[in-house]
Structure 1
Amino acid sequence: MGYIAGIGGANMDVHGQSLAPIVMRDSNPGRLHLSMGGVMRNVLENLARLGYEVRPATVVGDDAYGDALRAGCERLGMDTRWMHTRPGHTSSSYISIMDSEGDMLVAMSDMRILKELDAAFVEQCLPMLNDAELVVCDGNLSYAAIECLARKCTRPLYLDPVSTAWARSLEPLIGAFDTIKPNRLEMEVLAGMPIQNEADLSEACDRVLARGVRRIFVSLGADGLYCKTRDGARHGRSHGFDRMVNATGAGDATLAGIVYATLSGMDEARTMEVALASGLIAISAPDTISEEMSRTNLETMIKEYVR
């Protein structure tokens, strides 16, 4: 088994959850917690916990957050040789405020350093990327970086678009990706059409598949996960799960589950089960990444909650 490469964001996350219904424009008592984040880094951490060797390619600042990110990734067994420090820059950071039920109310990010993830950075990392089993990307990459990957990366590219803004920016290059995992709003942007029902969702997927994408997994929140390939569609849901603690990180775990199932040779039906179970493990933990992520716990979650 080879390694999995990733290129994209790595940042520090500050999570705040209110202890009572939030009062806007006021100070709310709650719990504050600091953890590592970044979509690409999160996906790779989940995969590391599932037993894979992972190699993140990213940039950090020469500050306390950058030092903490490097040290934290190394503790998890990640190969950090392609985690480059940029002197004079502030490391990428993200803060989310969740209501008393655990749903995100508002968030803010300072990811200016990620502009350093340009085409020259991709060129520098290509020998490592092209020797991987596959490459996980996130939408924090610039258009020029994605264009360089599309032309020169020889391994399958897996993408989480991150936001509608990034989806809009990267939409012209979407056909370069083997597998993508947008949410419903990001899928609307990529397909150039509104999605109001499952028929719309199917048509939207067809439009993007026709541009060269092999598989699309659309996160639908409480409605589960929708998958479509050129061979057909599947809609999976979880049932009876009521242990949500923190919704942040569910999508990252879902993409990790897709990668894990794919590299394990599972078919699309089984991949859907693993992806859903991965998301459930994520939302049942207070941190962005659940320490309970494991192959054994995935099987348990599938048996108990995935239909």
Structure 2
Amino acid sequence: MKVFVIGGANMDICATTAVPFVARDSNPGTVRTSPGGVGRNIAHNLALLGDKVELVTVFGDDGFGRMLREHCASVGIGTKYCQTVKGARNACFVSVNDSDGELLGGVADMAVTGLMTPEWLERRMNAINSADAVVADTNLPAETLGMLVACCVPPLYIDAVSSAKAARLREALAVPRLHPEPVFALKCNRLEAETLGLYAPGRTLGTKVGRLYLSKGSDGVVVREDGEDVHLPALPALGLVNTTGAGDALLAGIVHAGPDASAVDAARFGIRCASLAMRTVEAVNEEIKRLKDE
């Protein structure tokens, strides 16, 4: 399947404590640097699952930007439609995890993503509309996301990313679509769903979104379609190391299952991908490729 992924590509700096975290104090632990970003992580997972993937993003003109672009090429992610912005600082995400691998908090420097303007995206829309599926994250400016919602022809999957950025989606969905089909699917967690008024059972965005995948962490995933909820439990957390990339792997699995798969079957495959993602300190677990022929 040919998939275009439009969104953030940043360097992840992940700090994990060796003992239970103590606030307002220095905590012993480890610090690792690895490629990340919601869009890039989804693209990487899809490439490991055997899909033909093109990433559409902006890179900074610095060491992190060069490392990310080279890494994309090494793992089979196309960068033909990306841009390296001269003088710009590449996006970066710093996370702090407790000793059990749970995310305590983070800081995202994503200013460069503001350069992905509607005009910038419009020059790439013909190529994007040649895909079998399109994935976007809300690191895109609201105006750009709205333009994509209006003009995207293939099934469009959106990741809400964070509660702060999920608000951009409400603005984007207010833009009239040029095609009768709704946004195919939206993936969000509890905080993002609350921002969008979707956390209560059965709540929808009317006819603007076909499927909702509500990730509830260790409590599994709620699949909502036509106002009906189906709860799928998470798999046992065996070898839990880091939860940071689980949501990205979940959506990648849902996309890989294809638009012809039922919403529930797609979520089941996504949950398997998410379970593997949590077994590594990296944002993406290379072992996910074991699932590509299933």
TM-score class normalised by the smaller sequence:
over 0.9
- Residues 130-169 of structure 1 aligned to structure 2 (within 5 Å): 130-169=129-168
TM-aligned CA distance change 1:23 to 1:75, over 3 Å: same
One-letter code aligned to 1:110: D
From 228, 243, 259, give the equivalent of 2:224: 228
1: distance between equivalents of 2:287 and 2:52? 18
Q: Does 1:179 align with 2:185?
A: yes
How many residues of Structure 1 are paired with residues of Structure 2 in the alignment? 287
Q: Does 1:12 align with 2:8?
A: no
Structure with the larger strand share: 2
- 2:251 paired with 1:255: yes
Deviations 1:188-232 (A, max 9, x none): 2212x6x4xxxx222x2xx31x23211110001111000011273
Secondary structure of 2:77's aligned partner? coil
Gaps of 5+ in 1: 300-307
Q: Secondary structure at the match of 2:123?
A: helix
Distance 1:252 1:240, change over 3 A: closer
Checking the alignment, whether the CA contact within 8 Å between 2:250 and 2:267 is kept in structure 1 is no
Summarize deviations over 1:233-272 as a string: whole Å, max 9, x none: 3110035333211010100000001001125x43233222
- TM-score, length-normalised on structure 1? 0.89
C-alpha distance in structure 1 between counterparts of 2:293 and 2:245, whole Å: 16
Q: Is this contact kept in 2: 1:179–1:216, CA < 8 A?
A: yes
CA-atom RMSD in angstroms: 1.8
Map residues 1-307 of structure 1 onto 2, 5 A cutoff. Answer: 1=1, 3-174=2-173, 177-191=183-197, 195=199, 200-202=200-202, 204=203, 207-208=204-205, 210-230=206-226, 232-262=228-258, 265-296=260-291
**Structure 1, 163-172 or 97-106: larger mean CA deviation:** 163-172
> Secondary structure of 2:55's partner?
strand
Q: Report the counterpart of residue 305 of structure 1 in structure 2.
A: none
Greater percentage in helix: 1
Q: Deviations over 1:113-163 (max 9, x none)?
A: 010011011111112111111110001111110121122222221100111
Q: Do the aligned residues in 1 keep the contact of 2:102 with 2:242 (CA within 8 Å)?
A: yes
Q: Is the 8 A contact 1:139 1:170 kept in 2?
A: yes
The whole-number CA distance in structure 1 between the counterparts of 2:30 and 2:201 is 38
TM-score for the superposition, normalised by structure 2: 0.92
Superposed displacement of residue 27, structure 1: 2.2
In structure 2, C-alpha distance between the alignment counterparts of 1:148 and 1:187, rounded to whole Å: 22
User: 3-state SS of the aligned residue for 1:186?
Assistant: helix
Q: Give structure 1 regions of 4+ aligned residues with deviation exceeding 4 angstroms.
A: none
User: Could you tell me how far 1:298 is from its partner in structure 2?
Assistant: 8.9
- State the secondary structure of the residue aligned to 2:207: coil
Question: What is the one-letter code of the residue matched to 2:233?
Answer: R
Matches of 1:298 and 1:164, distance apart in 2: 34
Check conservation: 1:274, 1:298, Cα contact below 8 A. Answer: no
Post-superposition offset of 1:295: 4.3
